[in-house]
Amino acid sequence: MSTPRIVVTGRIPDSGLEILQSIGEVWAWGDDRPIPTEVRNAQLADATAAVTLLTDQVDVAFLAAAPELQLVANVAVGYNNIDVEACTARGVTVTNTPGVLTDATADLAMGLLLMVTRRLGEGERLLRSQTPWKWGMFMMLGTGLQGRRLGIVGLGGIGVALATRARAFGMEIVYHNRSAADAAIERQLGASLVGLDELLATSDVVSLNCPYSPATHHLIDAAALSSMRPSAFLINTARGPIVDEAALVSALQDGTIAGAGLDVFENEPEVHPGLIDLDNVVIVPHLGSATVETRGAMAELAAKNVAAVLAGRAPITAIN
């Protein structure tokens, strides 16, 4: 049997690369810039497995360049960058990295929630701009979290981890899902399932934790935003296009909602210019899973999926 050839389309932590190197011949694009398509296609020509990032489009053209491909191991939990149907039709296994980034992403969501409700970004900008200030009873008042309602759209692993954190801050949890969570999880979180309309209309903070798909494209549009409370905040650590960003900018400008904390953007890496100018929005560059430990664990899980499939075993975290 010939040595499998594994193509890694971006820079990943060494711990993942080391596992891959113990399985086969590895070629890795060692740069943070996106891999040029012609370089990628030349490498895919005899690739058995591809390890991809969320910035790669694994589409029909990608598959056409890789006639021997058996597996695409995405180093991300989200896989909206992959045409799973086309992979399945070609007999190519697709895997992702759920679980290992749950805590890091929930921490980030909680961080955005605290930043926007307590106006921390605004406070930091004030000091960094060396604007004169002194303590005042009414200076930069934010919103407390105790007794407030957090509405989670998509109560998967990350949603549950965020709810657990929010409960420790005294928040009440409601959620919207296609189906009800386990009764034990509902009990543990004191959470109840509500319709999306009710969640939007009654929550003080709405957090998006659902996958992106055609069904969730612009789930939060102008109508959804206008059904939220003027005092409410929106947090998005899922995928940018779940929100109609232009509608969000208008809603933040005209006070339809109070603020937003965003880790993801509709046209990443671009950020809507309207968001940059607003004080009631916190924006960070897709940092959900960006801890040393988590990125290492993601690379290792992707590599272990490659090892399993190339050894003829079932993948650990398969999508198709």
Active site residues: 239, 268, 286
43 vs 80, which CB is nearer to ligand DGY? 80
80 vs 93, which CB is nearer to ligand DGY? 80
Which residue of 19, 87, 92, 101 would you call a contact of ligand DGY, by CB under 6 A? 101
23 lies in the site for ligand DGY, by CB under 6 A: no
Minimum Å gap between C-beta 96 and ligand DGY is 7
Q: In this chain, which stretch among 73-81, 84-92, 155-163, 164-172 interacts with ligand DGY, using CB under 6 A? A: 73-81
Which residue of 12, 47, 76, 251 would you call a contact of ligand DGY, by CB under 6 A? 76
77 vs 171, which CB is nearer to ligand DGY? 77
Which residue of 10, 16, 78, 315 would you call a contact of ligand DGY, by CB under 6 A? 78
Nearest to 234 by CA among 76, 270, 221: 221
44 lies in the site for ligand DGY, by CB under 6 A: no
Q: How far is CA 300 from the centre of its chain?
A: 19
13 lies in the site for ligand DGY, by CB under 6 A: no
Name all contacts of 286-290 with Cβ < 8 Å and 24+ positions apart.
287/108, 287/263, 288/101, 288/104, 288/105, 288/108, 288/109, 288/237, 288/263, 288/264, 289/76, 289/77, 289/101, 289/104, 289/105, 290/104, 290/108
Q: In this chain, which stretch among 41-49, 72-80, 153-161, 265-273 interacts with ligand DGY, using CB under 6 A? A: 72-80
Task: Give the residues across from 52 on adjacent strands.
Answer: 74
Minimum Å gap between C-beta 65 and ligand DGY is 24
Minimum Å gap between C-beta 98 and ligand DGY is 9
Minimum Å gap between C-beta 182 and ligand DGY is 23
54 lies in the site for ligand DGY, by CB under 6 A: yes
Minimum Å gap between C-beta 301 and ligand DGY is 11
Minimum Å gap between C-beta 226 and ligand DGY is 28
77 lies in the site for ligand DGY, by CB under 6 A: yes
The residue written with tokens 């890091």 in the block is 104
Which residue of 10, 151, 241, 288 would you call a contact of ligand DGY, by CB under 6 A? 288
Site for ligand DGY in 176-235 (CB under 6 A): none
Residues that bind ligand DGY in the complex, under the rule CB under 6 A? 54, 76-78, 101, 286, 288-289
